[in-house]
Amino acid sequence: MSSQTSERVLRAATSRWRPIGARLDRSAGSVFILPAVLVILGFSIFPLLASLYVSLSRLSFSEGGVDLKFVGLDNYAKLIVGVDQTHFLGVVGPITPVSIAVLAAAYGLLALLLYRYITGPNRTAGGLVGRVVTVVIAGALLWLIANTILTSGRPGTLVVTIVYVGVDVAVQYLLGLGLALLVVQHLPGRRFFRVVFLLPMMITPVGVAYLFQMLTDTSKGPLYPLWARFGLTDVSWVTNPWGARLAVMIGDVWQWTPFIFIILLAAIETLPHELVEAAVVDGASRWNVFWRITFPQILPATTTVVLIRLIEGFKIIDLPNVLTNGGPGTATESLTLHAYTIWRALDIGGSAAVAYMLLLLVTFVSVTYVNLFRRRVAALT
């Protein structure tokens, strides 16, 4: 009797406790994740929102502290339509045949992409809206790029940054891929070269900038005999806008090609040999082996590494800052350097506004890139 009672009591107790236990089990995940969420909120989301507020205000010093005065969109207006417009957006020159041709081709491509999506099988309303927004923003950026670079105008920090990223990442990828393909061949000394190719990445960017400052100095420096031989000692290429930009881009390419090289090398080295051997047996040419077998298999690694370099590339500051201080004029000034020069004079609101414009640009480019390429590649594999 007593044992029966106690059993019943026990069963009743368990049945009463079971839902609580299950609930605890269910929420355990959230509880365990909470510290991480709090850390992210504290160190990532909060600063993001705080800097958004700073970008909408003006900082001044008062008796014993700092005053933040809310000024609305004034800091953004300065960049887009105000006193800093030519610095940020550049100067648009009168249209030229080249700028019209390039724009027409680019707009044609955008229209084609949009048309293919609309007539394609997978279209959704949300997808369409997203693509229209993308096409409009990309169209505006292309218009700005074409009318500041391909005319007598001049690019502002926004366009200069886009040029840096576009050229740098493309060249870095091609060089990195080429080097990786070379090093996987069974050539003598490949281990040695693998290490040598990695070295530039391990130097601090400021060191690279000083290195290139010496190399680009035609009137003295280690390459002086070379310049002297060609009679170029009276020509300084860092005082010419495109020469200076080129110097910055060469430095960046030199430093970051190894990053792409090492990732692609790892990807190529893990590929199974059987496919390549089978293709060779079937008489495929070297190009066909690369284009139809190797390249498709390293596409996932390619898209990831390019995405990382795109995001990193937008933040370029060390090279132009040390090499030219953003000069001649504002020719080599990137968005980060633009924000930095404003911040140095303690216009923290204006600086935050530039930083937010950069954030918007990086987000736009990354999201577009992921939508355009990564998803397709993921679907392929």
Partner 1 sequence: MSRHLAKALGLVVGVGLMAACASSSNTNSGQKFSGVTVRVVTFTGPQIAEPLQRRAPDFEKATGAKVQIITVPFSDLYQKVLTDFATKTNSYDATVFDPQWMGDYVPPGYLEDLTDRVKNDSTLQWDDIAPFFRDFSATFKGKVYTIPLDGDFQMVYYRKDLLQKDGLKAPETWQDYIDIARHFQGKDLNGDGKADYGSCLAMKRSAQSYWAWISIASAFLQSQGTKQGAFFDLNNMQPLTNNPGAAAALDVYKQLSKIGPPTQLNDDVGNSRGLFITGRCALSLDWGDIGTLAIDKTQSKVEDKVGAVILPGSKQVLDRSTGQLADCNATLCPYAVNGVNHAPFAAFGGWSGAINKASSAKVKDAAFAFLSYMSAPKQSGEDVTIGRTGFNPYRTSQFTNLDEWTKAGMSTQAANDYLGAIKSSLQSPNMVLDLRIPQSAYYQQTALDTALAQFLAGELNVNQTMNQITSQWNKKTDDLGRQAQLDSYKASLSVTK
Binding site for partner 1 (CB under 8 A): 58, 60-66, 78, 82-84, 86-87, 91, 154, 217-219, 233-236, 238-239, 241, 324-331, 341-347
**38 or 66: CB nearest partner 1:** 66
User: What minimum distance in Å lies between the beta carbon of 80 and partner 1?
Assistant: 14
Q: How far is the CB of 74 from partner 1 (least distance, A)?
A: 8
Q: How many C-alpha atoms does 370 have within 13 Å on its Cβ side?
A: 8
**Residue of 321, 327, 312 whose CA lies nearest to 358:** 312
Nearer to partner 1, 83 or 187 (CB): 83
For residue 372, the 8-state DSSP code is I
Whose Cβ is closer to partner 1: residue 139's or residue 327's?
A: 327
CB 173 within 8 A of CB 264: no
Distance, CA of 367 to CA of 299 (rounded, Å): 18
Q: How far apart are CA 200 and CA 259, in angstroms?
A: 9
Nearest approach, Cβ of 318 to partner 1 (angstroms)? 13
- Nearest distance in Å: CB 94, partner 1: 16
Q: Min. distance of Cβ 329 from partner 1 in angstroms?
A: 3
Residue among 99 and 324 whose Cβ is closer to partner 1 = 324
The one-character DSSP state at 204 is -
Nearer to partner 1, 59 or 106 (CB): 59
- Which of 12, 66 has the CB closer to partner 1? 66
Identify the CA nearest to 172 among candidates 192, 146, 201, 149.
Answer: 201
Least distance to partner 1 from the beta carbon of 71, Å? 8
What Å distances lie between residue 267 and 84, 135, 295, 310, 376, CA to CA?
A: 45, 33, 10, 19, 19
